[in-house]
Chains A and B, each alone.
Chain A
Amino acid sequence: MYIESLKVIGHDVHRRLALFCLNVLARPLRYENGQMLFEHSAVITLWYKIAPCLANEVDARLYEQCLRRIHSLACDPDESENYFPLWLFFWTQVTKKTPDMAAGYVEEFLNDLTDRKQIAMVSVLSVSRPFSSRLY
């Protein structure tokens, strides 16, 4: 019962966190002088801590909208340096535990690899089952 209550706690907190991140990500990234808004720095820090804490698909899916925004930033040549690692980190942490979710993004992974020359995506692809099945 103790473990059950922990699960419930975790999900609520994740939902709130995801909302917070989404909120922040929706806002302009930088000041005129190029300085990044502090809340964005905060979210980047936070992201690296959240991803390892995701143990199941239900929680991970809470972050999908954030992921989309992060990926679009990752594709922006000005911002990819900061945001591509977030994309990559999320998937390296989460793919094993949420293979079905990862399956939905294989297209993006392949594009990352081929168009955007992100070699690191190979490790993500090698773990996700659907890719292996697509090979054959």
Chain B
Amino acid sequence: MCPQSSIWSEVTSTLTCTLKNLFDSYVDPADAQADLIACLGPPVSSVFMEVLAKSFNSNVELFKANSSHILTIVEQLLLMNNIKDTRGLVEQTIIVHFDSAVDIDALLRMLIRVCPLVSVEHRKELCLNVIWYIARKLYDVKCSKTLGPLFFDFALVLLDLCVIEAPRHARILLEKNEFYPWKELAPRCSDLVRLCAAYDIIDEKKVINDLSYLENILELVSARAKANLVIVHATHGEALRAILRWLSHAENDSKNRWCQHVFNMGHKMLDLIDQRQITSDTCLDIIEALQKRVTSNEEDDNDEEVRGMIGPFLYVSEFLICRVHTFLSVDIASRDWHHDWPCI
């Protein structure tokens, strides 16, 4: 097939107009597989694929018989970073038949395997054009709770893409109600926190942006942690690491400042610190970091922007100070108790 040839394009347009239903039924549904593979070329024949996709759209049986092949095609397209054709195929087939005929387990496993392999330049497109539809369907669909961990893994994979467009979809997945076994997922929550914190390298100057979804995710985790204390036990390490990192200066920015979304995350991150794991070394580290920040602010005193940033930073400091105090008061409470006993 030579899509570049003008003769061919005439052929295809004639075909698509007159023989619209050419591919609507197969004597043996498995024959569709051959055609699907043929679509891939190389080069990929978008027109052919569109026509095929339309047939699958209207014929659910045809789709069912070939669903695993369609997944293979999507995989191949993604590996080629061909987002445009992926979208067409996915929209016409997978999305249409999502509730009735899609094997969600297989779909998720494929996406978990393949999304990280999409090149960095194409990830934004991937999120906007493909993940957008899939994530929404996954949120709505009623399926077995045994898929919970798989959904969670997919959310992690999405966050790991590290593009501004990704957190929105990860969040909608995680908000699926009464679906996740949070106790069992507690250890993985540490990865979740780490992946959110990793967005601090993104330099995003707009005040309102899609990175605010990261805060929502962190809020969700701390809400679940209230019901499952084991979660906060798991997230403590990463949360503390992030906060100490953000208390000192950014390395990537020429002005050595973190972006607004980082401070906003920091605020939520504080709830993911486990009181019981705070040690004297933690306190000392925190005070040390605060000290450094205060001393370096001396150089920035005339900078209006820095003063603007101080607001959120003050929040962070105050909350930290309260935590330090709580640790100290636990300390004291045990000492006072010991103090009273000798009177007996």
Contact = CB atoms under 8 A, between A and B. Distances in A.
Contacts of B334: 3, 6
Contacts of B307: 31, 35
A52 B314 contact: no
Contacts of A53: 325, 328-329, 331-332
Interface secondary structure of A, over-half rule: helix
Interface string B288-303: 1011001101100100
A134 interface: no
B276 interface: no
Interface string A26-52: 010001000100110110011001101
A86 to B, nearest CB: 15
Interface secondary structure of B, over-half rule: helix
Interface in B304-344: 307, 310, 313-314, 317-318, 321-322, 324-325, 328-329, 331-332, 334-336, 338-339
Contacts, number: 76
Nearest to B338: A3
A49 B321 contact: yes
Interface residues of B, number: 32
B309 to A, nearest CB: 10
A9 B280 contact: yes
Contact of B290 (A6, A13, A20, A52): A20
B277 to A, nearest CB: 14
Contacts of A46: 321, 325
Interface of A: 3, 6-7, 9-10, 12-13, 16-17, 19-20, 23-24, 27, 31, 35, 38-39, 41-42, 45-46, 49-50, 52-53, 55
Given A23-B291, A38-B314, A52-B332, 18 more contacts: A6-B335, A7-B335, A10-B331, A10-B332, A13-B280, A16-B287, A19-B291, A20-B290, A20-B294, A23-B294, A31-B301, A38-B313, A39-B294, A46-B321, A46-B325, A49-B322, A49-B324, A53-B332
Interface of B: 279-280, 283-284, 287-288, 290-291, 294-295, 297-298, 301, 307, 310, 313-314, 317-318, 321-322, 324-325, 328-329, 331-332, 334-336, 338-339
